[in-house]
Amino acid sequence: DTGVSQDPRHKITKRGQNVTFRCDPISEHNRLYWYRQTLGQGPEFLTYFQNEAQLEKSRLLSDRFSAERPKGSFSTLEIQRTEQGDSAMYLCASSRTGVNGEKLFFGSGTQLSVL
């Protein structure tokens, strides 16, 4: 169990640029989640995958956001035409279906700063 890893740890970008984050879940986990956390708030659900299928997207996820998990392993989250309001910590988590309670294992996150 190497844990959930996210890359990069930090990203600074200018408004209007596109950014892409990567998440590598725990290898035997079939579910992968993306959350966003801003200062003083708890994580907010963005989207989740079961294997390669994206099964749910939050209304928070505007058209500028897209996530993929092409082979059911790693996932990418892309934000196009970034805005200052996109500045946040983007968290990835994974879990295994049917395991009691399905607790989520979180990565350390990618901190995005949009200037």
Partner 1 sequence: AQSVAQPEDQVNVAEGNPLTVKCTYSVSGNPYLFWYVQYPNRGLQFLLKYITGDNLVKGSYGFEAEFNKSQTSFHLKKPSALVSDSALYFCAVRPPGYNKLIFGAGTRLAVHP
Q: What residues pair up with 94 in beta bridges, in sequence order?
A: 32, 105
Contact 18, 80 (CB under 8 A): yes
**Residue ranges with strand state E in the chain:** 5-7, 10-13, 19-24, 31-37, 44-50, 53-57, 65-68, 75-79, 88-95, 105-106, 110-114
69: amino acid identity, one letter: R
Contacting residue, 13, 22, 44, 54, with partner 1 by CB under 8 A: 44
Q: x/- site string to partner 1, residues 1 to 20, per CB under 8 A?
A: ---x----------------
98 scored as a contact of partner 1 (CB under 8 A):
no
Q: Does 42 bind partner 1 (CB under 8 A)?
A: yes
51 lines the binding site for partner 1 (CB under 8 A): no
Where does this chain touch partner 1 (CB under 8 A) — which range of 11-19, 36-44, 60-68, 74-82? 36-44
65 is a site residue for partner 1 (CB under 8 A)? no
Residues in contact with partner 1 by CB under 8 A are: 4, 31, 33, 40-45, 48, 50, 55-56, 91, 93, 100-109
